Structure 1
């Protein structure tokens, strides 16, 4: 059977006031719902531009059918076209960034952020543009935004996450790189690359003993990691000098 994907609404009844002024208020909320591979429903609230935005809430199909009402016309006339336009803008931005046209890419990512300011792909993209131009102050602002968002470290964004962390390190923004990778630990499956990238950043920052701790954590997960073994060997020579 096809997976559930569409716009749904739900109503919440609240009582406000006291005594004779007490009254019921009904609030309506709109969500974009999409069934994932596990059969769970991922819910995201629709923003004022009719696109899903913010953190994902997970509910069951039963909860969706029991507490939410399908809004098919709204999905067809507003939500689906808005999502399609946003994805088109993001694709154009990604293409321009990959071609090295960072100013054009920045403009397109800016358009996407005007539609959804929490869009992970757009935030990573514009941050990578700033880093490639060594505009560290602007990149730091994007870093501060991304590091607060759990969604930035989801598996679907892994390649962007890796590119961003590596770019932070290459721009000698070592503290930010370490904080960025550290934030991912616990939000992702045990990944030896995270520990290696922290070790590499700490090493380049001159913190050799701290770097060794993370190299050892990397090798505990993946004893065959060639880059980690090389870094460990190099660190042992430097520390023992």
Structure 2
């Protein structure tokens, strides 16, 4: 693992009855490798100053729950006794209160706008993890974006089409396919989306699926020239074999 700043998220319930809702609390930690392969983490304040004692966690918990923040740098470690220092608990309470305040203000915004913004932020985070060499964590985040149960609208096909294209360029065809198929769910007869799915299947060397989606694109739009040329090329290549 890389020593540095990481974040975790936890659920926080706000309100009661019909107005009760869940918000997400985000906290930052400084993580470093300890003895015996364990990871040591220490809570950070909002200005990224370490506070309280270090806590030892195992590697599996760390990989599942802690997300690297490559753009953040913690200040010099200043350990205090977390059992005696009430400022740590005050810090946690203040963070939760801030989340509650932000959530109350956010009620004025569309829930779908929030989901769209969160999807984009999570996707960018996953891509940063991939580029930084944190492949397992990055892929997990990117897959979660496509699999989250949200009642997306037809217009959001552009969001997932864009995600798929970026992943295909990143040479992650399996995850790209997940995002393209999410876009297809929102717009089943979109010829360009069908064409993009065919291209991913070609990258995966699944020619039968590639042809099937090219034909589907041409059913939606018989004049789609890129699909015509692509289908002719792979058909000719198969014939020459």
**TM-score of the superposed pair, with normalisation by structure 2:** 0.49
**TM-score of the superposed pair, with normalisation by structure 1:** 0.49
